[in-house]
Amino acid sequence: MTPAEIRDEILDILDDISPDEDLGDLKDDVPFRDQLELDSMDFLDIVMELRKRHRVQIPEEEYGNLASMESTVTYLEPKMRDIVKS
């Protein structure tokens, strides 16, 4: 997947988790928690959706890499490089 495809996938997951949030104004460099009403369970849902949809394993000690859209895409790019978007 390309960085743009990964970003779209994260937006899709966020929309599933928080359908009432306006994701159109999401800033890539600002932590999700500063922009969205996400609690720790929502954050775990993001990790679980990535695992379920793409078999991407994210160790708990690396969850901090998923703080913002920018850091999430950067972190996931090498893990998702060989995944073909269907």
Query: Which CATH number characterizes residue 48's domain?
Result: 1.10.1200.10
Decide if 39 is inside a domain. yes
Number of domains in the chain: 1
26 contacts 33 by C-beta, under 8 angstroms: no
Decide if 57 is inside a domain. yes
Residue 81 is predicted with a pLDDT of: 87
Residue 30 is predicted with a pLDDT of: 96
In 1-86, at which residue ranges do the beta strands (DSSP E only) sit? Answer: none
Residues 6+ apart with CB under 8 A from 30: 68
**Residue 20 in 3-state DSSP?**
coil
**Residue 29 in 3-state DSSP?**
coil
Decide if 9 is inside a domain. yes
pTM value is 0.89
Domain carrying residue 67? 3-19+26-80
Distances (CA, A) of 65 to 62, 71, 74, 77, 84: 6, 6, 8, 12, 23
Residue 86 is predicted with a pLDDT of: 62
Residue 83 is predicted with a pLDDT of: 81
Decide if 85 is inside a domain. no
Q: Report, as ranges of residue numbers, the positions in the chain whose pLDDT lies below 70.
A: 85-86
Give CA 43 to chain center in angstroms: 9
